Structure formats: structure tokens, C-alpha cells
């Protein structure tokens, strides 16, 4: 069996309340896990919780619980969120499990036997009432930051790790493995930190007992970081199942936040070097999120609760936004406008339109049958070029995924979506259909393949949506569920990558074995902003649709084209006498001025109408309202807040065609 692709998140401090930062790292790991599985690789994806240490012990005592009771109670906050976020981890490790205590003690003893752990004295500031060691930097005006009382300098017996011995070895390793720490700015930061000199590291404590005892010296507990980092070994069998361990270790990717970079990029490799174990292949340190331009903090009350975002926009839109909005590795800003803008433009407009137009045309032109596959050689040069463009998608996305440049991967996918939408506009399938052209079938097959290949590439980011889209494409019934069929077809061998499902032409519908699409619910609804921002709950909600789209009668794009919509500018307005609803308008539509009678007087007084841009149905038969001729109709919508005229976000020249 080949070594699995091994990806990890940090283990999260169990008493924290999960926020957007935890969700970010964990979804990133999930994306890597899912993408690699889809490409046919075996994957091992680990997350978990860090449950030891003085803070847990103190919080438990304050709440009248044992530390274990506290941990058991609050660990579900993470586990529940990961279920909601559709996280596909293979293991969830808790540092209070026996398998982990054994691993941490084993590693500690191994390093000690090697001579890299020695007994010394740890000296620092100590707050006796709080029973807490504090560093010089943590003191506030020389006093305890928690209780404000004076602190004492005390010495405590402690085991030390000879970190100072590993400066040269680490620097050599960094130099030989320039991809070990990503992004590059973090690599440079760590190299200069290590060049600045390394002090030995205290790796045990006597001042509290909630931890893993040092073997043979139970008055010492293993320092939480030494304990926590070992989790990456525990989960793959260390030290009891060394065959499994050797087949799984090292990790391919540790994903972390930049606040814990030093532990992962300096201390962890030094422990491993000492123990004679291979080093992880890459440590990727991502940035932090601000909220509406401000640093997230409990005191400001602006901590984004992932559950609220999921309630508001759904799991997949949230996952998409996190990785499209900001290059992975840089800091980003979480804002309601940014979130809604992304959802409406990228998902509802670009992708949603491609999917709904393609499926609607297949339904209309072929009674839902998937178009027959043309021979690639028989394609026209333009159609062939488009097919090639689709086929190159997977390779380009994979290259970005291998570097964790997620926003570039998505950008690549969206360039193809744009190209597909342009392909529709350029080739006008509705014209090919009305002309009964032979080219309709290859064009529609190309569009079907565009949607299918995009579906595969968005799967890791929006798994539930992609699985559903796959079903709508008729493929779950025809070949099997996306999550089952693709990894099998795409299994990777060392030197040869079979990638049929990612190639143009994988789907073959024949007269004998027809594949039919199954149009279902709209997968990419628009989101409307209704309240001020995400600090107040439910401030965004899905636009309620009066009827599910699939239940409405469908028209073709050429039916729609019969309606001539034009932009107009209101140049005069007056109330219609004896009517409280009607206004008589003069509307400039570029080539002429139209008189329009509109039932909008309750919402708009004549004075606010003059100068306004409107949309007018310009080829409507004239009608008489209260004896006045109306030569067109304005577009408007009404909801519980009343009536609103359709308009444009900027001034548009009168007479422009709306389509």
C-alpha cells in the first residue's frame, strides 16, 4: 500500500469557542484532503483537540468540574462544527486519550535517552494566588495581568530540551528544503529567527498537574507544546504500530495559523531530528481574518461565529468565500458586503447562469437527453479549441492545489466558467436550434462537458453542491456518485496518472444507452442583504423565491428575446387625476419619447421620478388606462416593503437594449 497523503490541522485548545480562524484552517485541510482523494490518492486527514495545561485545569476548578469533565463537555463544540462544515477528517485525536499519553511519554523518553533532555531550573515570574508562571512580556506594569497582584521571581526544577544544539541542523534543513515553510515570507522569518540563536527549551512543569507525567518523574508533567505536537505521530500508530507509522509518516502538510509557526517550524522539527524521525514535508502558515476591517476580539464583540454564517448563506458559499476572497497565506477581511458580493457575482451569476442555461437548453432541445459526443477530430476549430481549454483545466488547478494557492485555483476555474458563458453568447445555440443546424449537438456537448469538468474542480471547495450538481447532470444514475466513481477512475500510480474523468469526452451518451439530466433545485441562489452586518445574527437571508424555478413554465432564450426591454429616462411626470395609483410619464428611450401610464403613484411622487433611469418594455401593444394611452410598461417589483422600480447601478444611456 502506498503512503497516504497525510494532512493535519493544529489540535485546537479545547476550551476555546470555535471561530472563523478555526474554521479556516480546518476547511483548508478538508479541501486538500478531498482534492487528493478525488485524484485517486489515499488520504489521511487528522484534526483534534489539545486538552492539557494549566488553563484547562483552572477553568475546570472554577466551574466545579474535573478537567476531564470539562474537556468532554466542550470538545463537542469543535466536533459539531466540523460535522456542519462537512469536514472529512479520518481521525479526531484528543490529547487525553491513552494512545496519545503513551506516544508523548515515548517520544519524551526517546529524546531524553538520546541526551537531549536534561534537568535544570526554570526561572520566571510567578503569581502565587493564580499559580501561574508569567514571562516578562506578559506582566502588566510589573504585576499579574489577571489579578493585578505583585509577582515573585521563582525558580522551579524543569526538564530542558537542548534546542541550542539544533541551530545548525535546522538551518541546513531549511536551506535544502526551501518549500518546507510556506509562504515564503514565513520561511524567511523563521530562518532569521533561528540564525539569531536558539535557547534551550523548558519542556516540563511542576506547578500544575493536568498533563502527561514524565515517565519515572511523575512530579513533572510534559510541557503542553511537546505534548500537543506529538499528536501528529500518535494518530498514525506511534509507538505501538510502527509498521503503520512508517507507512504513513511524515505528514505531507501541516496547516497552521501564523501565531503557532515557531512551534511547528522550529521546535517540532528539532524534536523530530533528535528522535531520528523524518520531518514533515511542508508547514503552511495562513494569515488572520479581520472583521469589517477591524481586528477580531472578544472585547469588541465582533468574533465571527461560523454557525451564524452557515445559517445565513449555507455551508458551501461560506467555504467558497474563505478561499476565493484572499490568497492563502495573507491576512484577509471578512465583511458582509464581500461575502454577499462573491456569492451573487461568482456563484449566482457566473456559475449559476452557466448551469441553468446549459441544463435548460438540454431539456428543451433534447428532451433532457445528454447530447451525443462528437468525434473530437470532427469539431470545428472553435469548438475544438474550447474542448481543449476545458481539458487543460484539471492540470492547471492541480498545479495550484499542490502549492495551496487556493484562490488561484478558483480563479482558474472561474476563467473557464466565463469562457463557457462567452461560448454560449458567441455560438447562440438557440439560433442553431431554430436553424436545425448540425452544430447544435457538438456545441451543447461542449457546454455539458464544461459544467461537468467545472463540477469536478469545485468539489473540494463545495462538496455538497458538486455532488448535487453531478446528480443533476444525470451522472449519479448513469455512472455512480461523484465521490465513489471519480477516485476509482482517476487512481494515480507513481509514474503514470490516469485522468479520464478529467478529460473532455469522458461522458458518452448513446442511442442505446442514453444519459438524461435530472434538473433539480437551483444550486446557487442569490443572497440579499437585509440587515447591517454579521455581528447581528441572520443579517443576510436567502432571497425568497415566489416559486421554485423548476416548477415554472420554461421559455427559451429566443422567447425571451421577443420582449424588447430598453433603458429609458423619465423626463416628465404628473399624477393622473382621480386616480391614487397612476402616474403619467414621458420617457426618453433614445430614439423617441414614449408616454407611459404606470401604477406607481403610491410609492413614487412625480417629483422624485423625473431624471430616474428605468427599464421599459418597448414592444408592448399600446393600451388605454383611464382614457390615457400608455405606450410601454415599466419594470418593478413589490414585496412587503412596497413597490420598487428596476434601475441600474450607474447612469445608462436611454435606448440601450436590456438583456
Give residues in contact with Zn ion (CB under 5 A): 127, 130, 144, 146-147
8 Å CB contact between 606 and 583: yes
CB of 151 to Zn ion, least distance (A): 7
Closer residue to Zn ion (CB): 149 or 422: 149
Q: How far is the CB of 154 from Zn ion (least distance, A)?
A: 13
Rounded to a whole number of angstroms, the minimum distance from the CB of residue 152 to Zn ion is: 11
Go through the chain and tell me how many residues it has: 659
- Cell readout for 425 is 453568447
Nearest to 283 by CA among 207, 374, 142, 181: 181
* Grid coordinates given for 483: 465521490
Q: Which is nearer to Zn ion, 149 or 488 (CB)?
A: 149
Cβ 469 to Zn ion, closest distance in Å? Answer: 56
How many Cβ atoms sit within 10 Å of the Cβ of residue 242? 11
Q: How far is the CB of 51 from Zn ion (least distance, A)?
A: 23
Closest Cα partner for 390 from 409, 410, 417? 417
Instruction: Please say which residue, 146 or 292, places its beta carbon nearer to Zn ion.
Output: 146
How far does Cα 49 stand from its chain's mean position? Answer: 22
CB 249 within 8 A of CB 8: no
- Rounded to the nearest angstrom, the gap between the alpha carbon of residue 525 and the centroid of all alpha carbons in its chain is 17
Give one word for 441, left, alpha or beta, with left for phi > 0 and alpha for psi -120 to 50.
Answer: alpha
CB nearer to Zn ion: pick between 147 and 543:
147
Closest distance of CB 149 from Zn ion, Å: 5
Q: Quick one: 152 or 607, whose CB is closer to Zn ion? A: 152
Select 143 or 419, whichever has its Cβ closest to Zn ion: 143
> Of 45 and 208, which CB lies nearer to Zn ion in the complex structure?
208
Pick between residue 126 and residue 366 the one whose CB is nearest to Zn ion: 126
Residues 6+ apart with CB under 8 A from 363: 517, 519, 554
From the list 40, 8, 22, the residue with the least C-alpha distance to 82 is 22
Within 10 Å of residue 84's Cβ, how many Cβ atoms? 13
As a whole number of angstroms, the distance between CA 453 and CA 420 comes to: 11
Contact 109, 32 (CB under 8 A): no
Q: Mind spelling out the 3-state secondary structure of 74-102? A: HHHHHHHHHHHCCCCCCEEEECCCHHHHH
Query: Could you tell me the smallest distance in angstroms from the CB atom of residue 13 to Zn ion?
Result: 20
Query: Closer to Zn ion at the Cβ: 144 or 359?
Result: 144
What minimum distance in Å lies between the beta carbon of 181 and Zn ion? 36
- Indicate the residue among 147 and 481 with the shorter CB distance to Zn ion: 147
CA end-to-end distance (rounded Å), the chain: 56
Q: How far is the CB of 145 from Zn ion (least distance, A)?
A: 8
Q: How far is the CB of 137 from Zn ion (least distance, A)?
A: 16
**41: CB partners within 8 A, 6+ apart:** 4, 5, 492
Bond before 250 cis per omega within 30 degrees: yes
83, 464 Cβ separation under 8 angstroms: no
Amino acid at each position: 500500500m502506498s503512503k497516504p497523503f497525510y494532512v493535519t490541522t493544529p489540535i485546537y485548545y479545547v476550551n476555546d469557542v470555535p471561530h472563523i480562524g478555526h474554521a479556516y484552517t480546518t476547511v483548508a485541510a478538508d479541501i486538500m484532503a478531498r482534492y487528493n482523494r478525488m485524484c485517486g490518492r489515499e488520504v489521511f486527514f487528522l484534526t483534534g483537540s489539545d486538552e492539557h495545561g494549566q488553563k484547562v485545569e483552572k477553568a475546570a476548578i472554577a466551574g466545579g468540574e474535573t478537567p476531564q469533565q470539562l474537556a468532554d463537555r466542550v470538545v463537542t463544540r469543535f466536533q459539531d462544527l466540523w460535522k456542519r462544515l462537512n469536514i472529512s477528517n479520518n481521525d479526531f485525536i484528543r490529547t487525553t486519550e491513552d494512545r496519545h499519553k503513551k506516544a508523548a511519554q515515548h517520544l519524551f523518553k526517546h529524546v531524553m535517552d538520546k541526551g537531549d533532555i536534561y534537568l535544570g531550573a526554570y526561572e520566571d515570574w510567578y503569581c502565587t494566588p493564580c499559580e501561574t508562571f508569567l514571562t516578562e512580556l506578559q506582566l502588566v506594569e510589573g504585576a499579574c495581568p489577571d489579578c493585578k497582584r505583585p509577582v515573585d521571581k521563582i525558580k522551579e526544577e524543569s526538564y530542558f530540551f537542548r534546542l541550542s544544539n539544533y541551530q545548525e541542523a535546522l538551518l541546513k534543513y531549511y536551506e535544502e528544503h526551501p518549500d518546507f515553510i510556506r509562504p515564503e515570507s514565513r520561511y524567511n522569518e523563521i530562518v532569521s529567527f533561528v540564525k539569531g540563536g536558539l535557547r534551550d527549551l523548558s519542556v516540563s512543569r511542576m506547578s500544575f498537574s493536568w498533563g502527561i507525567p514524565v515517565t519515572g518523574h511523575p512530579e513533572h508533567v510534559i510541557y503542553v507544546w511537546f505534548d500537543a505536537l506529538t499528536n501528529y505521530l500518535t494518530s498514525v500508530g506511534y509507538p505501538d504500530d510502527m509498521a503503520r507509522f512508517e507507512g504513513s509518516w511524515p505528514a505531507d502538510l501541516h496547516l497552521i495559523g501564523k501565531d503557532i509557526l515557531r512551534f511547528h517550524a522550529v521546535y517540532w522539527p528539532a524534536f523530530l531530528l533528535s528522535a531520528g524521525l523524518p520531518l514533515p514535508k511542508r508547514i503552511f502558515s495562513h494569515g488572520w481574518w479581520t472583521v469589517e476591517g477591524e481586528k477580531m476580539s472578544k472585547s469588541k464583540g465582533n468574533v465571527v461565529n461560523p454557525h451564524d454564517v452557515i445559517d445565513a448563506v449555507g455551508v458551501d458559499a461560506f467555504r467558497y468565500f474563505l478561499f476565493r476572497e484572499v490568497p492563502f497565506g495573507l491576512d484577509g477581511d471578512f465583511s458582509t458586503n464581500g461575502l454577499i458580493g462573491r456569492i451573487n457575482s461568482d456563484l449566482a451569476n457566473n456559475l449559476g447562469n452557466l448551469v441553468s442555461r446549459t441544463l435548460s437548453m438540454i431539456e428543451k432541445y433534447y428532451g433532457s437527453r445528454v447530447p451525443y459526443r462528437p468525434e473530437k477530430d470532427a469539431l470545428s476549430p472553435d469548438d475544438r479549441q474550447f474542448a481543449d481549454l476545458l481539458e487543460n483545466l484539471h492540470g492547471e488547478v492541480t498545479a495550484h492545489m499542490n502549492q495551496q494557492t487556493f484562490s488561484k485555483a478558483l480563479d482558474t476555474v472561474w476563467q473557464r466558467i466565463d469562457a463557457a458563458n462567452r461560448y454560449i453568447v458567441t455560438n447562440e445555440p438557440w439560433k442553431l436550434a431554430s436553424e436545425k443546424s448540425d452544430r447544435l449537438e457538438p456545441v451543447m456537448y461542449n457546454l455539458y462537458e464544461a459544467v461537468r469538468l467545472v463540477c469536478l474542480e469545485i468539489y473540494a471547495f463545495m462538496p455538497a453542491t458538486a455532488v448535487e450538481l453531478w446528480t443533476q447532470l444525470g451522472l449519479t444514475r448513469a455512472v455512480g456518485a461523484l465521490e465513489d466513481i471519480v477516485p476509482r477512475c482517476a487512481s494515480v500510480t507513481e509514474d503514470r496518472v490516469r485522468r479520464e474523468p478529467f478529460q473532455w469526452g469522458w461522458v458518452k451518451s448513446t442511442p442505446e444507452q442514453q444519459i438524461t439530466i435530472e434538473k433539480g433545485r437551483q444550486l446557487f441562489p442569490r443572497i440579499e442583504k437585509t440587515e447591517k452586518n454579521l455581528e447581528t445574527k441572520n443579517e443576510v437571508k436567502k432571497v425568497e423565491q415566489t416559486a421554485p424555478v423548476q416548477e415554472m413554465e420554461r421559455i427559451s432564450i429566443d422567447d425571451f428575446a421577443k420582449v424588447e426591454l430598453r433603458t429609458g429616462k423619465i423626463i416628465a411626470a404628473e399624477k393622473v387625476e382621480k386616480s391614487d395609483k397612476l402616474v403619467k410619464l414621458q420617457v426618453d428611450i433614445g430614439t423617441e419619447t414614449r408616454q407611459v401610464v404606470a401604477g406607481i403613484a403610491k410609492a413614487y411622487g412625480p417629483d422624485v421620478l423625473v431624471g430616474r433611469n428605468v427599464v421599459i418594455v418597448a414592444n408592448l401593444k399600446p393600451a388605454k388606462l383611464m382614457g390615457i394611452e400608455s405606450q410601454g410598461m415599466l419594470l418593478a417589483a413589490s414585496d412587503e416593503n412596497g413597490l420598487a422600480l428596476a434601475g441600474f447601478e450607474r447612469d445608462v444611456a436611454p435606448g440601450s437594449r436590456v438583456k
